[in-house]
Chain A
Amino acid sequence: MFSGCPGSKTADFRTKEVQDDAPAGKVQSQLRQWPVQLHLVSPVAPYYEGADVLLTADCVAYALGSYHTDYLKGKSLAIACPKLDSGQEIYYEKIKSWIEDAKINTLTIMIMQVPCCSGLLKVAQKAANDASRKVPVKYTVVGIQGEILQEEWL
């Protein structure tokens, strides 16, 4: 019986039937900026000003098939891994700066269902609570097979 970290537990979905009913042609990327990693982005980059910002845990875009069309579309992005990234103190400062300096419109945090991912939500929540300006904050929890488990405004 596996008793370690659920985030590293091996799961095999190869037998899962995948419906191939996607429309013909390539799916367009909805990415509107570069870079995307939270360490690399400036919180006051022009694409964050007044934007709806999507802060996504690294694994989400691989698990969720419709990530680009249903979630990334129309938003400005940053990605991070709360389990493996180092120097995460700066994440708190950057998220706070989005709200206070870039005056973002909303913040959406997308995480995986694994427990370690909730660290990203916690740091974003703390930054949003401490910020002098308030914005609506939403979070979405994605299952390891790409299902939406929870979607809620904080």
Chain B
Amino acid sequence: MEQYLNRGIKEIIGEFPETGRILDEFNIGCTACSVGTCLLKDIVEVHNLPYEEEHALMLRIGRVIYPGVEVEVPRIERKTQPASGAIKYSPPMKTLVDEHNVIKRLLALIPRLLEGLAVTREDDRQLVLGAVDFIRSYADRFHHAKEEDILFREFGEDLEIVKSMHEEHRIGRGHVKAVIEAVESGDTAAVKEHLTAYGELLTGHIRKEDEILYPWMDRNLSTAQVGELFRKFAETDERFRETASRQTEFIRSLEKQFTCEEVTNHV
């Protein structure tokens, strides 16, 4: 069993598909992950399952890997006790979650933004380019800068879970680049395809960070590290103050535009 703890989860699911279904039952969504390079031991630790659930999960995975053998379940080392109740973030993590909430407001608007879209029309072109500008300046430069330049470095770039978050950022950037190219070539179908894919990717990515990654990071940060992150994030906020305020206003106006259109359409 020990040897499988240090193997990538996608590799294990590939070899033993039943393990993916077991992880799903425990609300560990590795089967849907676009990267899947996290190690089995990290997944168990990161998800912070109560000890009894961890034991039950590992026992079932062990039985799939070694059918007919009574497997000895190893206890995964943890620095902290499993948490219970609602997630409580440290102040720097709370900042990132609040920024996610702004990004999610754009993601929620994507389906309506794409309805009847034709990038050959100037208004629609500008609408898509506005959304792209939000993604690039707020989600990527402002928010992801805090994650990539500050938070992830604090934990080390070699961690599989950090690598997989980087990879999802990279895939997201690829979709945004493809949207811009499609706008330039007047290819409405490609704009729809890549903006939809971006929305789906980011929705899952944010959920992973809010529910799994940030709570795990909080459990492993010292008080001094929390203070350092808070200070560095505040410096980033100061540097991007104008961008953050302009883009939050953009989201507000977009919400107003679509709400008004809906009201008009229903009258």
Contact = CB atoms under 8 A, between A and B. Distances in A.
Interface of A: 52, 74-75, 104-106, 108, 134-138, 152-153
29 contacts: A52-B223, A52-B224, A52-B227, A74-B222, A74-B224, A75-B223, A104-B227, A105-B224, A105-B227, A105-B228, A105-B231, A106-B224, A106-B226, A106-B230, A108-B223, A134-B234, A135-B227, A136-B91, A136-B92, A136-B226, A136-B227, A136-B230, A137-B91, A138-B90, A152-B88, A153-B89, A153-B91, A153-B94, A153-B226
Contacts of B231: 105
A74 B231 CA distance: 19
Contacts of B234: 134
Among A104, A136, A137, A152, which residue has the most Cβ atoms of chain B within 10 A? A136
Given A75-B223, A104-B227, A138-B226, 17 more contacts: A52-B224, A52-B227, A74-B222, A105-B231, A106-B224, A106-B226, A106-B227, A134-B230, A134-B234, A135-B227, A135-B230, A136-B92, A137-B91, A138-B223, A153-B88, A153-B90, A153-B226
A104 B227 CA distance: 9
A91 to B, nearest CB: 21
Contacts of A135: 227, 230
A74 B230 CA distance: 18
Nearest to B90: A153
Contacts of A106: 223-224, 226-227, 230
A105 to B, nearest CB: 3
Nearest to B226: A136
Nearest to B93: A153
Contacts of B94: 153
5 nearest A-B residue pairs (beta carbon): A105-B227, A106-B227, A136-B91, A153-B90, A136-B230
Contacts of A105: 224, 227-228, 231
Interface in B70-90: 88-90
Interface string B218-249: 00001110111011001000000000000000
A137 B181 CA distance: 47
Contacts of B222: 74
A104 to B, nearest CB: 8
A136 B230 CA distance: 7
A135 B227 CA distance: 7
Contacts of B91: 136-137, 153
A98 B117 CA distance: 56
A75 B224 CA distance: 9
Contacts of A134: 230, 234
Contacts of B226: 106, 136, 138, 153
Contacts of A108: 223
B37 to A, nearest CB: 31
A37 to B, nearest CB: 22
Interface in B92-147: 92, 94
A50 B230 CA distance: 13
A113 B82 CA distance: 22
A74 B226 CA distance: 14
B44 to A, nearest CB: 23
B89 to A, nearest CB: 7
Contacts of A75: 223
Contacts of B90: 136, 138, 153
Interface in B27-63: none
Contacts of A137: 91
A88 B91 CA distance: 28
A1 B187 CA distance: 80
Contacts of B89: 153
Among A52, A108, A137, A152, which residue has the most Cβ atoms of chain B within 10 A? A52
A26 B89 CA distance: 36
